[in-house]
Structure 1
Amino acid sequence: MTIQFSRLRAVLVACVLAIAALYPAVILAQSEPAQSSQAPTADSAAWAILADRAEGIIESGDSSEEALTRLREELVVFRQQFLEAQDANASRIATLGNQIAALGPEPAEGDPAEPEEIAARRSELEAQMARLQAPGLRAEEAYNRANGLVAEIDITLRERQASALRKQGPSPLNPALWPEAWSVFTKSLLDLKDEIVVSTSTGEQREQLKQHLPQILFYLVIAAALVLRGRVWMEQLTLAIYSGRRFQGTGVAAFLASLFQVIVPVLGMIALRQAFLASGLLGLRGQILAEALPAVGVILFSGLWLGGRLFPRSENEPTPLALRHEQRIEGRWYLSLLGLLLSLLLLVGRLAEFDSYSDGVTAVLLFPLIVATGLIVARVGMLISAAVVYTHDDSDPAPADRGYLQRAFGLVGKLTILSGIAGPVLAAAGYLNAGVALIFPTVLTLALLGTLALLNILVRDIYALLRGRSPEDAAEALTPILVSFVLVLLSLPLFALIWGARVTDLWEVWTRFQEGFAVGETRISPSDFLTFVIVFAIGYIVTRLLQSTLKVNILPKTRMDTGGRNAITAGVGYIGIFAASIAAITTAGIDLSSLAIVAGALSVGIGFGLQNIVSNFVSGIILLIERPISEGDWIEVGGQMGYVRDISVRSTRIETFDRTDVIVPNADFVSGTVTNWTRGNLVGRCLVPVGVAYGSDTRQVEQILLEIAKDHPMVVLNPPPAVLLLGFGADSLNFEIRAILRDVNFVMSVASDMNHEIVRRFAAAGIEIPFAQRDLWLRNPEVLAPRGAGPANGEPAAPARAPAAPVRDNDGDGGQGAIPDGMEGR
């Protein structure tokens, strides 16, 4: 069993990238320069030799991982060249295709032969077509071969990686391995010391040391200041910003200041490395360890920084985790220890790789680091779970979110605890590679998740600073959420690298993405999609600008009414968007003919499932063209009455008189009955019914009502208002005022004004406005006396049938509710 320390270094580099929150595209571009846009032209002979060699290497299966990786890079170069060569002569081929199509179809068997001139021309064009298509076909065949070879190499590398994880080696719990491990490790340290002693034993090295002594002392002073005190100074600055007077952008300033808690001491580690290298006292082992000092500084101080940000000292500092003060202290210690353990892993790995430790020695040396890391990881998982389920009181910080975030934190905490236990168990059982591949990526994943959580707070604070809002209000806005979502998407390659993906795997995904996907005979690539988006966006913006110009500057100067102007504006918008779509599709080179089958299937779906939507859409277009209603019209449709406020493609919004919005589908306006009170003009009729008592002078009533109608300022005099005696009601003589108003929108207020004036004028003229009356005749009033009571004071008994006395019912209900037993109305 061989521990792949180069793999561990790659994982640690991913940790550095995760903490720095850098997108890995830059690293990927540096890792595979073979995919440069300046790729040489494909050479058929060189390609044939490379392909044959690659097939032989893959079949043999005895090449190293480094050799396979280099071979894959060469294949990727040719594959990219062949992909680009497939589009050779594309424009000329399209022209020839149009020329051949212009000649018409070839005669079918049994049909008369076409003229010789046309047949000769067709043969000539087809020969040119075959000649021009040949390079593309050869490139396509070579591309498929290269792509297959690359896929086979990837499969081989993944199988080797999986086999290394499944391989069982010596258990570090075997006591027989401990003396050898201690002896080998101490020998490496002694060799390191001996290299320094040998370097200082020669006069030349001592002379060189004296010459570089000022430079060495300068670097050592800087390193001591920056490493020992620099981080403390930056931490005090961050706490001062949070503890001082709050201002807009406090969170942003404090976050940027906190970054120097990593930058400053790492610069000190770089100065320390320069001091060691300038001394000339280090041998090969010392130089290897000295070169690792900056990486060690990044890992160590990044762990301290994450601990200070995720588990802050001050209550004023924002944190994604809600914990008690004691738990925050514990969390800071744990993250600091994790950074130290990762640093030790890097140094031990460099030393073990140089001295070629055996599998047993490597297992024994790494096992304590794995166990310590597993215990700390498990405890950190408990803290994450505690931050979710913790019930706070008034003196404790606010609890974490109780929805989706709670479930996510709970899942992360449980998986972290499981990983912290499973990693040491696997290593103890001899599966050291599996234990290392589980426990240390878990640490890096937690670091990356913590960084994303801190970046989420930073995005919120930046948004609050730019918009002049409080951080609490900014947390509810959509923009910070979208930006945080994008950051999560950009971090996915980092998660993949942490959990075992190779850089070549990511490049393969990116290559597939660049190639696009096929729709019929058309291949849509990201560049095509980007072209479509840009052209459509330009067309959409131009359309909106044209609509705004028409609506604000041009149409108001015409004699067109509001409804017509809105219809023209909406029509221009629909035509512009349709034209922008066509232009974007054409510019991107998307062939829609291949979507004919899909369009046919969609038409069937439209016919069944979307028929109501299509009906409303077509009805909306009809409304905009015919304009039976316009914005601002007073209409009545489907029992709803109100003003039209907006006409869209699918529906129309009506504002009722009680200020509620009613959304009516456009199909109801086309297929139903619509009453438009203000269509064409605002003139409308007002009807005011009036009842007077029987016995009133009808001509006098007619004259008074006519004067009231003519005196109202909203009533037009041509045609003049009229007063009609409609009939004889059960309780009154029924009159009605019929008047034409200048603006029918005021019909209710005009009717109210006339009713007030009618009451005043009728009272002055002594004309009664009656109310409903009923006469009741009691056939047997004796039943009203209490039962068993005789005549009082010797009065004679009442006759059995006395004359009925009329009882007037003034409430208009016929007295039904007050008739006792034995009485009935006549």
Structure 2
Amino acid sequence: MARCAAVLLAIISIGEPAIAQGDDVVANAVVELVGASNEVRAVEKAADNASTREERSALTDRLSAARATATKSDEMLDTQMALVDAKITEIGPVAPGIVDAPDIAAQRKLLAQRRNTIDSAIRRGKLLIVEAQQLADRIAADQAAELGRSWATRNPSPLTPGFWAALIDAGPRDVSRFGRFLEQIIRDIGHGLAGGHWWIAIASAVVAVAMGWPARIALRETGRRYAIDAAPGHRVRRSGYAMWRLVTGTALPTLAATALVQGLRWSGLTAATAEPMLSAFVFAVGMGAFIGALGAALLMRSQGSWRLLPIGDDVARALLPWAWVLAILTSVDIFLSASVETMRFSPVAVSGADAALAAIRLLAIGGLLFTLGRLRTRARIADDARADEDGTAITGTGAARASVGIVTLLAWLVTLAGGVALLAGYTNFSLFLTRIVIEWLAIVVGTFYLLLTFIDDVVTTIFSAESRPGHLLARGVGIRPGAIDQFGVLLSGVLRLGLAVVAVVMLLTPFGSGVDSTVERFGTVADGITIGDVSISPGAILRALAVLLVGLTLARLFLRWLNDRYLPTTSMDISGRNSFALIARYITIILAVLWGIASLGIGMERIALMLSALSVGIGFGLQAITQNFVSGLILLAERPVKIGDLVRIGTEEGDVKRISVRSTEIELADHSTLIVPNSELITKSVLNKTMANALGRLQIQFSVPIGIEPERIRRIVLDIFEAEAAILDSPAAVAFIDNIADGRILFNCFAHTSSARTAYPARSAALTAILQRLAEEHIDVGTVPQQLKIVPIDADTKNPFGK
């Protein structure tokens, strides 16, 4: 790789000034690739000799740094490649039969060399990234294999005499090591007392006691009072107070231990010999305090109304002591492991200490599971008694009992497996089961349960329509209250999903997959997948969602300006404004969606190809919806039916209230709404009474005896039409003689009103007046009478009219 890099640098250095502007960038990228390659080779050599988890973790960190360097260099080289391609495009290809000028030919040749150089460097960088990832996977596999070998290591069983004989044989040497270490500690204390700074240790001890007890209690009570008096919302009060108890219950004891240890250091009472134990003491106190505070925050033994877990007071009081037992065992385990390593006890003593810790942990876990079983039995008896008294079964407890029963059964199986492994001599495996599978799982699950609840409560309370930030968003930005609540729920879901990923990382850590390697794998997933030339990753999706949100916000602001400011200044009626605003709305939404898709790196040609492919499926599977959509666009554009029109479709008649791209809403006379697909308005006959003219027309038909003077009847009708307020003078009302039949004169009269909606009431009023006036004139009014005659049929000809 170094030789290739030298060649690349030599080629780069011969560029002309016109095209050598990015030579330094390319050279630096190549140099970084060389350094990353050397680092990968060094890690590959060191990986064969790595024997501890710490060494492998350090090598993995070095590989991660090398990968990051190679990735950064590749990005720089990709940028330079794009610039070179742009220059080559600018010069253009060689035209047949045309000889380039010498300077153009030289520049084209130099650009081709430069492109080949950068392309080679890019390929080697990508290959280096793959090699680094493969080496990291191999190191992780070696760590997992080492962990498996440690589990398979078998020591003498505590039930055999050989176990105790080995401890007795190694006892004198281990006691001697402990004595020498204790003598060194005493000498260090003597030197510190002689230095005269012993008062610093006493002062730090006083500070440690004050921080660990009264200060912690005072801060806890301060948080409780704040939660009661000032915290918003009942849910945030509970989860916020639980988080406060966890933070104060962890930080104050840890700070107290740190102050005590730091006082010992400053006073000179300790030396480098005990330094690992002092650091382990601080960490042990912090872990123990964290576990105890976590149990107290979740159980809330004396404050049942503040408890996050759905359990009773008796269960909380019974479980809290076991949480402190777990905290003490964890602290003792951490400090004892560091002490054994510092004093360099024999492997037999270390194995005996591990066996003792595993046995104590098994007893503690067994006691906890026995307590849980006793509580479950008591709760089941109480529920059955209440069910017998009420006569009905208590709902909602069956599933919970089954879940708890399954978890308890699995815990018992793991505990029994740990006990069998310990008695069989597999001490490391037994210690792993008790230390990791049960305790670590309980700690991680409890911690992230509290964090998930706290995040959900805080986010949904802040982004709530009833909160102060919600009021500011609603009034200042114009976001509707429902959208604020939805955003709070979505943000809470995203944050909780990220927290769940962190929990998975923490759970996988003890199984040989460290945090770095696990995060590396999640980082690989976060890089996304590549489809063709498009790379889709979670980051790109979030970016696209952000762009879509901005686009929709801009669209909403534009539509508000359009409806409130611009359209009222035009001469369009309400229906025209609605059509224009509806078309503008869909156009802006489509543009915002296209903008969001383009932010993913998908070009317009790919979007067009995708839409053309979708159109085939739409044509086959969504014909009706597509037909209605297109019909809606036609209605909005041609406006054969618009809002406010009085239309008749079949036997139904009503006013058009709303036109969308899929359907049209028509309000009928009984105030019900008829929803008509837009295709019905385009493909079928529709009577629009107000499309071209808003006037209404009424028609009255009647007959009078033939002996009545027709002009007299005509004058009566026209006078009544003229007297009716709803009937217009222009167009003028008319009365026609339509026919003469069966001794009666048939009249057909017409008049107009200002609206089709007033024609029917005006017709009723005019007809009433006509009937009353003709009755006063003693004129018989009616229609042509219908007569039914029975005619005999001729028997010979079957002719009803005779021969």
Q: Does the alignment reach a TM-score above 0.5?
A: yes
Match of 2:447 in 1: 448
Over 3 Å counting, the alpha-carbon distance change for 1:346 and 1:655 in structure 2 is farther
163-172 or 117-126, which moves further after superposition?
A: 117-126
Give, in angstroms, the shift of residue 549 of structure 1: 2.0
Q: Given the alignment, which residue of 368, 378, 382 partners 1:376?
A: 368
Over 3 Å counting, the alpha-carbon distance change for 1:722 and 1:67 in structure 2 is same
**1:41-440 residue pairs with structure 2 within 5 A?**
42-43=31-32, 45-55=34-44, 60=48, 64-84=52-72, 85=74, 86-96=77-87, 98-99=89-90, 115-116=98-99, 125=108, 128-129=111-112, 131-158=114-141, 160-161=143-144, 164-165=147-148, 167-168=151-152, 169-170=154-155, 173-174=158-159, 176=161, 177=163, 198-201=184-187, 205-207=191-193, 210-213=196-199, 215-234=200-219, 236=221, 248-249=232-233, 251-253=235-237, 255-265=239-249, 266-279=251-264, 280-282=268-270, 287-313=275-301, 317-354=305-342, 355=344, 357=347, 358-359=350-351, 361-373=353-365, 375-376=367-368, 411=403, 414-415=406-407, 417-426=409-418, 428-429=420-421, 430=426, 431-432=429-430, 433-440=432-439
Q: Does the CA contact (< 8 Å) of 1:633 and 1:643 recur in 2?
A: yes
Q: Does the CA contact (< 8 Å) of 1:692 and 1:734 recur in 2?
A: yes
- Counterparts of 1:608 and 1:767 in 2: how far apart (Å)? 68
Give, in angstroms, the shift of residue 418 of structure 1: 0.9
Give, in angstroms, the shift of residue 502 of structure 1: 1.9
Give, in angstroms, the shift of residue 443 of structure 1: 0.8
527-536 or 616-625, which moves further after superposition?
A: 527-536
| Structure 2 SS opposite 1:616 | helix
| Structure 1 SS opposite 2:661 | coil
- Counterparts of 2:367 and 2:121 in 1: how far apart (Å)? 59
Over 3 Å counting, the alpha-carbon distance change for 1:54 and 1:304 in structure 2 is closer
Give, in angstroms, the shift of residue 589 of structure 1: 4.8
- Counterparts of 1:263 and 1:506 in 2: how far apart (Å)? 27
Query: Structure 2 counterpart of 1:219, which letter?
Result: S
Q: Does the CA contact (< 8 Å) of 1:322 and 1:387 recur in 2?
A: no
Q: Does the CA contact (< 8 Å) of 2:193 and 2:269 recur in 1?
A: no
- Counterparts of 1:193 and 1:624 in 2: how far apart (Å)? 96
Over 3 Å counting, the alpha-carbon distance change for 1:345 and 1:87 in structure 2 is same
Q: Does the CA contact (< 8 Å) of 1:171 and 1:360 recur in 2?
A: no
Over 3 Å counting, the alpha-carbon distance change for 1:527 and 1:557 in structure 2 is same
Q: Does the CA contact (< 8 Å) of 1:437 and 1:499 recur in 2?
A: no
Over 3 Å counting, the alpha-carbon distance change for 1:288 and 1:722 in structure 2 is farther
Q: Does the CA contact (< 8 Å) of 2:240 and 2:454 recur in 1?
A: no
Calculate the aligned-residue CA RMSD, in Å.
5.2
Query: Structure 2 counterpart of 1:211, which letter?
Result: H
- Counterparts of 2:295 and 2:225 in 1: how far apart (Å)? 18
Q: Does the CA contact (< 8 Å) of 2:220 and 2:248 recur in 1?
A: no
Q: Does the CA contact (< 8 Å) of 1:252 and 1:462 recur in 2?
A: no
User: Any idea what the Cα deviations from partners look like across 1:778-822, whole Å, max 9, x if unmatched?
Assistant: xxxxxxxxxxxxxxxxxxxxxxxxxxxxxxxxxxxxxxxxxxxxx
Match of 1:545 in 2: 557
- Counterparts of 1:769 and 1:184 in 2: how far apart (Å)? 134
Match of 1:652 in 2: 664
Match of 1:813 in 2: none
- Counterparts of 2:517 and 2:232 in 1: how far apart (Å)? 44
- Counterparts of 1:150 and 1:130 in 2: how far apart (Å)? 31
Query: Structure 2 counterpart of 1:369, which letter?
Result: R
Query: Structure 1 counterpart of 2:79, which letter?
Result: A
Q: Does the CA contact (< 8 Å) of 1:416 and 1:442 recur in 2?
A: no
Over 3 Å counting, the alpha-carbon distance change for 1:531 and 1:465 in structure 2 is closer
Over 3 Å counting, the alpha-carbon distance change for 1:590 and 1:55 in structure 2 is same
Q: Does the CA contact (< 8 Å) of 1:192 and 1:286 recur in 2?
A: no
Query: Structure 2 counterpart of 1:443, which letter?
Result: A
Query: Structure 2 counterpart of 1:170, which letter?
Result: N
Q: Does the CA contact (< 8 Å) of 2:647 and 2:654 recur in 1?
A: yes
Q: Does the CA contact (< 8 Å) of 1:562 and 1:631 recur in 2?
A: yes
Match of 2:728 in 1: 716
Over 3 Å counting, the alpha-carbon distance change for 1:587 and 1:427 in structure 2 is same
- Counterparts of 1:579 and 1:274 in 2: how far apart (Å)? 61
Q: Given the alignment, which residue of 480, 496, 510 partners 2:505?
A: 496
Q: Given the alignment, which residue of 484, 487, 493 partners 2:495?
A: 487
Higher relative contact order (CA 8 A, sep 6+): 1
- Counterparts of 2:378 and 2:705 in 1: how far apart (Å)? 85
Q: Does the CA contact (< 8 Å) of 2:212 and 2:256 recur in 1?
A: no
Over 3 Å counting, the alpha-carbon distance change for 1:186 and 1:519 in structure 2 is farther
Give, in angstroms, the shift of residue 462 of structure 1: 4.7
Match of 1:624 in 2: 636
Q: Which has the higher helix share?
A: 2
1:564 corresponds to 2:576: yes
- Counterparts of 1:305 and 1:529 in 2: how far apart (Å)? 39
Give, in angstroms, the shift of residue 453 of structure 1: 3.2
Q: Given the alignment, which residue of 664, 675, 699 partners 2:687?
A: 675
- Counterparts of 1:197 and 1:695 in 2: how far apart (Å)? 147
User: Any idea what the Cα deviations from partners look like across 1:446-485, whole Å, max 9, x if unmatched?
Assistant: 3134312354345455556952799xx99x9545543432
Q: Given the alignment, which residue of 723, 734, 742 partners 2:754?
A: 742
Query: Structure 2 counterpart of 1:224, which letter?
Result: V
755-764 or 705-714, which moves further after superposition?
A: 755-764
Q: Does the CA contact (< 8 Å) of 1:693 and 1:733 recur in 2?
A: yes
Q: Does the CA contact (< 8 Å) of 2:359 and 2:419 recur in 1?
A: yes
Q: Does the CA contact (< 8 Å) of 2:288 and 2:327 recur in 1?
A: yes
Over 3 Å counting, the alpha-carbon distance change for 1:284 and 1:596 in structure 2 is same
- Counterparts of 1:458 and 1:577 in 2: how far apart (Å)? 32
User: Any idea what the Cα deviations from partners look like across 1:138-180, whole Å, max 9, x if unmatched?
Assistant: 2233322332332243244135325624733337653543676
**1:782-801 residue pairs with structure 2 within 5 A?**
none
| Structure 1 SS opposite 2:643 | coil
- Counterparts of 1:691 and 1:383 in 2: how far apart (Å)? 97
Q: Given the alignment, which residue of 519, 538, 562 partners 1:507?
A: 519
Match of 1:782 in 2: none
Query: Structure 2 counterpart of 1:363, which letter?
Result: A
Over 3 Å counting, the alpha-carbon distance change for 1:220 and 1:494 in structure 2 is same
Q: Does the CA contact (< 8 Å) of 1:715 and 1:740 recur in 2?
A: yes
- Counterparts of 1:359 and 1:695 in 2: how far apart (Å)? 133
User: Any idea what the Cα deviations from partners look like across 1:707-740, whole Å, max 9, x if unmatched?
Assistant: 554433332221233457879999x999776432
Q: Does the CA contact (< 8 Å) of 1:684 and 1:743 recur in 2?
A: yes
| Structure 2 SS opposite 1:560 | coil
Over 3 Å counting, the alpha-carbon distance change for 1:697 and 1:479 in structure 2 is farther
- Counterparts of 2:766 and 2:704 in 1: how far apart (Å)? 15
| Structure 1 SS opposite 2:640 | coil
Q: Does the CA contact (< 8 Å) of 1:708 and 1:754 recur in 2?
A: yes
- Counterparts of 2:224 and 2:360 in 1: how far apart (Å)? 36
Tell me the number of residue pairs that the alignment of Structure 1 and Structure 2 aligns.
717
Give % identity: 21
| Structure 1 SS opposite 2:676 | strand
User: Any idea what the Cα deviations from partners look like across 1:69-127, whole Å, max 9, x if unmatched?
Assistant: 43433333333333332413243244246447x659x9xxxxxx654559997997486
- Counterparts of 1:596 and 1:186 in 2: how far apart (Å)? 84
TM-score (norm 2): 0.73
Query: Structure 1 counterpart of 2:318, which letter?
Result: E
Give, in angstroms, the shift of residue 566 of structure 1: 2.8
Match of 1:16 in 2: none
Match of 1:398 in 2: none
Over 3 Å counting, the alpha-carbon distance change for 1:679 and 1:368 in structure 2 is same
TM-score (norm 1): 0.71
